[in-house]
């Protein structure tokens, strides 16, 4: 779908959202001005809200995650794959503060539930990756 086509209505994520940053980066790479995207200023704060705007007909398309599209029975075309990490100060890894979180990420039922959602890869879920010194 050509976002610069005048008949295509896009619904955006709010300024500062990772999805919005990704769109802006890709538009710049393709030399497409944001002002040429109909609906660029139409903002939503969640992936599900973007999907709801598309499902309701208020927009033709928007960037989002497969789980949001699936929840509203929308088609989904993968464009990018991203990895998201939980950033934690090292001092919080020592002690019991995050024990329940790490136990949850290791729980087989939880892992199975996350893996069943479209678009989620649990291969590295729960791994602690040290930052370079």
Q: How confident is the model at residue 81 (pLDDT cuts 50, 70, 90)?
A: confident
Average pLDDT over residues 87-102: 89
Inter-residue contact 3 to 26 (CB < 8 Å): no
Inter-residue contact 11 to 62 (CB < 8 Å): yes
Q: How far apart are CA 71 and CA 47, in angstroms?
A: 11
By three-state DSSP, how is residue 123 classified?
coil
Cα Rg, the chain, nearest whole Å: 18
Q: How confident is the model at residue 93 (pLDDT cuts 50, 70, 90)?
A: confident
């Amino acid at each position: 779908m050509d976002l610069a086509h005048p008949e295509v209505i896009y619904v955006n994520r709010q300024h500062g959202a990772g999805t919005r940053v990704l769109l802006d980066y890709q538009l710049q790479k393709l030399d497409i001005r944001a002002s040429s995207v109909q609906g660029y200023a139409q903002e939503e704060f969640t992936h599900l809200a973007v999907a709801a705007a598309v499902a309701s007909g208020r927009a033709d398309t928007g960037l989002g995650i497969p789980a949001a599209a699936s929840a509203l029975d929308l088609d989904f075309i993968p464009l990018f794959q991203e990895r998201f990490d939980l950033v934690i100060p090292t001092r919080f890894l020592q002690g019991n503060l995050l024990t329940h979180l790490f136990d949850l990420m290791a729980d087989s039922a939880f892992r199975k539930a996350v893996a069943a959602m479209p678009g989620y890869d649990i291969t590295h879920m729960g791994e602690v990756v040290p930052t370079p010194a």
